[in-house]
Structure 1
């Protein structure tokens, strides 16, 4: 299966608690083994359970792609070392970069795949340039559907993308050029437009919140290149 429904302790907002790439998943601590097995089976990459700044909302604080993971400057040393050591033990050559900024909710503010990144206009141009350099891709500043929290209103992989249903045709065309994949509009969890907060996705599959409807799943599968 390329797609499965799941909940994290009855929460359908999976993207709040984890970060997924084509090489690894960072996930909040404390989920049961059955749910971890579902995530491994669908996304087909190893999982590193961790906290960030002593918080379980790992997906809010982390962003990245297959090249690097960006974490807040204020991450605890023990957390940073745990993630770095786990990657090393798994044989995954990825940088984990604490990024100094007044902003910390990188998962909400950065939308990236291995070909491009859209970063919130709340970042300075200099910060956007540095984010692109860390991730090894072109990074542009912008909004989606007038939202600066571009990471929460979108999800993008190396196969496709899904964004807020109020995104304009011009924005969709721009995002397709930036990410080099087809990008569509849609919702999850029974009409929630903040799709990035509702799922964990990579090029292998997607795990969506358990409230996501059948028609939404069809649209998600199409948008992320699984149909």
Structure 2
């Protein structure tokens, strides 16, 4: 079941301050409360690394980077020290790369899982190629309900995806065929249309802002299918999988 958490000062836009994948979790290093970090730790400790970081001194890391189990793409605003910290902290197999893309809020411009990515139509051609190479995905330039910031209005895992609530059925069918996962239109945080600001997921768990209603939570659970609990067998299998992959 998805977990409700909040950032400092009752901020429910938890996706702005975190990035969750199947191989790692990044958490804002500017948080003044330990509760935000421990919210992720309660579900992820011992399974994947949880890394606190900033990007260019900013804590809005979820908006600024994009990644999956294969790689992590970072904007040109990241400092050399921050870049090295991430390279040192993430599994060796995860490719960590800084890119010179004018649209530096990569998390707002790109949505991806481990196999496919939706990208802002105006991204540089070189950026599209880097996304494909570093993340190991097929890239589609798309809009979602006429919005170019596909990373803001879509959240994906390998199990499913949630998109802007005004997305037409025909568009969802087209996107679902491209991404080869089921999609649903919805909101988080009591009606927020900016899906990625209030939701971050991987293939077995999900976190959403604390203002997310029971109905919204049920939609998240139905499309992403997070595991109801984290039995020892799951942790053991995930750890074994990561060791086999990264060593």
The 8 Å contact of residues 23 and 92 in structure 1, kept in 2 or not, is answered as: no
| 1:5 counterpart residue number | 4
Structure 1 distance, partners of 2:97, 2:171, is 29
Structure 2 distance, partners of 1:174, 1:64, is 23
Q: Say which SS state the counterpart of residue 127 (structure 2) adopts.
A: helix
Structure 2 distance, partners of 1:139, 1:40, is 31
The 8 Å contact of residues 27 and 37 in structure 2, kept in 1 or not, is answered as: no
More strand by share: 1
When normalised by structure 2's length, the TM-score is: 0.85
- Residue 225 of structure 1, CA deviation: 2.5
- Residue 199 of structure 1, CA deviation: 1.5
| 1:107 counterpart residue number | 107
Structure 2 distance, partners of 1:42, 1:149, is 29
Q: Say which SS state the counterpart of residue 188 (structure 2) adopts.
A: coil
Greater CA deviation, 49-58 or 161-170?
161-170
**1:60 lines up with 2:63 in the alignment:** yes
Q: What aligned pairs does 1:79-118 form with structure 2 within 5 A after superposition?
A: 79-87=82-90, 91-118=91-118
Structure 2 distance, partners of 1:41, 1:177, is 35
Q: From 49, 53, 74, give the equivalent of 1:46.
A: 49
Structure 2 distance, partners of 1:139, 1:72, is 18
The 8 Å contact of residues 42 and 207 in structure 1, kept in 2 or not, is answered as: no
| 2:36 counterpart residue number | 35
**1:25 lines up with 2:45 in the alignment:** no
Structure 2 distance, partners of 1:207, 1:92, is 26
The 8 Å contact of residues 113 and 156 in structure 1, kept in 2 or not, is answered as: yes
- Structure 1, unaligned stretches of length 5 or more? none
- Residue 126 of structure 1, CA deviation: 4.1
**1:201 lines up with 2:201 in the alignment:** yes
**1:212 lines up with 2:205 in the alignment:** no
- Taking structure 1 as reference, are residues 124 and 34 closer, same or farther at Cα in structure 2, changes over 3 Å only? closer
| 2:150 counterpart residue number | 150
Q: Say which SS state the counterpart of residue 184 (structure 1) adopts.
A: strand
- Residue 32 of structure 1, CA deviation: 3.8
- Residue 38 of structure 1, CA deviation: 2.5
When normalised by structure 1's length, the TM-score is: 0.92
| 2:190 counterpart residue number | 190
| 1:164 counterpart residue number | 164
The 8 Å contact of residues 117 and 178 in structure 1, kept in 2 or not, is answered as: no
Structure 2 distance, partners of 1:67, 1:170, is 31
